[in-house]
Structure 1
Amino acid sequence: MNHCHLLHIEFEYDGHKQIITPVLLQDEQDLILVDCGYPNFIPLLEKAALQNGIAFDLLTKVIVTHHDMDHIGSLAELKRKYPQIEVIAHEREVPYIEGTKKSLRLEQAESTYDALPDEAKPQAEQFIQFLASIETVSVERAVSNDERLPWCGGIDIVHTPGHMPGHISLYLSSSKTLIAGDAVVMEEGKLNIANPQYALDLDEAVRSVHRLLSCDIERLICYHGGLFPGDAKKALLELARKYER
């Protein structure tokens, strides 16, 4: 029994309706959450799990694709409420999640602050304060590219840097499913690079799209956009070519 459950979480952020799609992976021994939303999202995660017939107190692990606020915002709170969970992330992300290095997104926001017009600075200050408030948490297991985790029929780590240096996607060969994280997003039915203007290395992000093409993909799940409805490999190839023009 290996199941992949998409958690459709709808909410309002900064005055706009948003949707994210964390994923629950389940087998006979483990219940694994992939990414966990903004701070205070535990009730939304628990409700979405129950809608899939799953009790969240069975959670054993959380795999973090990267340390952006909408992916680790509830991680420390989850660890307090469910202390049995093991936190897993790429080795390059560990110091940012644990707080031994400053968040790269916080560094990015701080570095652009002085160039902003005065009228934009109050909102930027609020954003910087919010990023600085994200709680840190210990990572129990650091992973690397091409590593295979033994749960849920095998979870292959695909290092997909660009959006963040330690960003990972997950490939489930048993169901030919790719969990992309923010390596790609779905916008109006099409794939795109996630917020290309904020990618820490856009060229690397495009190379990561090529890396995803090495997987035999039948289902593609984007954190922003959910399940891609069309031919995922064809769409990834078109996206890569778009940025090569």
Structure 2
Amino acid sequence: MTSIGSGMGIAVLPDVYCYTNQIVNLFFIGDPSKTNEFVIVDAGMPKSADKIKTAVVERFGENSLPKAIVLTHAHFDHVGSLVTLLEDWDVPVFAHELELPYLTGDKDYPQGDPTVDGGIVSELSPMFPNHGINISGHVQPLPNDGSVPNMEGWKWIHTPGHTPGHISLFRKQDRTLIVGDAFVTVKQESLYKVMTQQKEISGPPKYYTTDWQAAFESVKKLEALQPITAVTGHGVPMKGNELSESLRKLVENFNEIALPKHGRYVNRPLLH
């Protein structure tokens, strides 16, 4: 699956660059007009390391190396190229402590749930990789004080539901939010909408979300921050009134917009 935006990047802000890799976004945090230091948030789809490195060179120049990689969570489409990237980049990786078992080879995620409503992507989801990876020599937990190493001014926020250790990143100074998959701006269950990147506010991808009450609380937590700019793991960036109105709508109508009508975890969360 590949969206029409694959391989393209958007400078959402001078120091927030959204790069689309097939169906998922990763982010380069750093202003190349001021510094060659940057952090990458998430690590894209499998077999995409060369494309990601090319995008880094185009953004920051030859021989550029991130100071760190920060993960919103460890689903295959967010860590797919991480092992390969770390073969060339000897850099630290940071994730929430509850996500570490999926990054040290100790646990696998449950398979995707094809019984949730929404479209063919949900139906195909059991075929998606669900295994953990082992980067135990690189990964470490995010600091308990909410700071993000090498990302001055940013704080990490625990936003579980989609996964136990899912995080989002927020910069209070300009109210910029890196959401991950706590909510997205495309209906990720629909193949047509994924491919065309039709913009609409949606909850976390249904086929991988295992705790819907926690997911709802996470969306409320993010809406309360009143972000001005949001970039999500799937879909296009949102800003201003469109973002605030869309988030308000999502909170007020979460059951109708986000919650599946049926599925393994609708009435009972997975106990990880």
Aligned match for 1:221, one of 231, 237, 240: 231
CA change 1:56–1:183 in 2 (3 A) is farther
Aligned match for 1:103, one of 86, 108, 127: 108
Letter aligned with residue 61 of structure 1:
A
Q: CA deviation at 1:30?
A: 3.4
Indicate the SS of the match to 2:162: coil
Aligned length: 218
Mean Cα deviation higher: 64-73 or 41-50: 41-50
Residue ranges of structure 1 left out of the alignment (5+ in a row): 12-18, 114-122
Question: Separation in 1 of the partners of 2:56 and 2:161?
Answer: 30
Q: CA deviation at 1:3?
A: 1.4
Question: Separation in 2 of the partners of 1:124 and 1:184?
Answer: 18
Query: Given the alignment of the two structures, is residue 240 of structure 1 paired with residue 251 of structure 2, yes or no?
Result: yes
CA change 1:131–1:4 in 2 (3 A) is same
2:87 match? 80
Question: Separation in 2 of the partners of 1:191 and 1:148?
Answer: 28
Aligned match for 1:196, one of 192, 195, 206: 206
Q: CA deviation at 1:176?
A: 1.6
1:92 match? 98
Question: Separation in 2 of the partners of 1:196 and 1:145?
Answer: 29
Higher strand share: 1
Query: Given the alignment of the two structures, is residue 137 of structure 1 paired with residue 141 of structure 2, yes or no?
Result: no
Query: Given the alignment of the two structures, is residue 64 of structure 1 paired with residue 35 of structure 2, yes or no?
Result: no
Note the alpha carbon deviations across 1:199-221, whole angstroms, 9 max, x for none: 11112111100010232411000
Question: Separation in 2 of the partners of 1:203 and 1:54?
Answer: 44
Question: Separation in 1 of the partners of 2:159 and 2:125?
Answer: 28
TM-score, normalised via structure 2 length: 0.71
Question: Separation in 2 of the partners of 1:218 and 1:182?
Answer: 18
Contact 1:145–1:157 (CA<8 Å) still a contact in 2?
no
Query: Given the alignment of the two structures, is residue 155 of structure 1 paired with residue 178 of structure 2, yes or no?
Result: no
1:43 match? 50
Identity of aligned residues (%): 28
Q: CA deviation at 1:56?
A: 6.3
Indicate the SS of the match to 2:253: helix
2:26 match? 22
1:168 match? 167
Aligned match for 2:219, one of 199, 206, 209: 209
Question: Separation in 2 of the partners of 1:180 and 1:32?
Answer: 16
Contact 1:3–1:152 (CA<8 Å) still a contact in 2?
no
Indicate the SS of the match to 2:103: helix
**CA-based RMSD:** 2.6
Contact 1:146–1:157 (CA<8 Å) still a contact in 2?
no
Question: Separation in 2 of the partners of 1:241 and 1:214?
Answer: 13
Higher helix share: 1
Query: Given the alignment of the two structures, is residue 182 of structure 1 paired with residue 184 of structure 2, yes or no?
Result: no
Letter aligned with residue 234 of structure 1:
E
Note the alpha carbon deviations across 1:186-235, whole angstroms, 9 max, x for none: 12322111222431111211110001023241100011013115532221
Contact 2:49–2:82 (CA<8 Å) still a contact in 1?
no
Question: Separation in 1 of the partners of 2:174 and 2:64?
Answer: 26
Q: CA deviation at 1:48?
A: 2.5
Question: Separation in 2 of the partners of 1:213 and 1:108?
Answer: 29
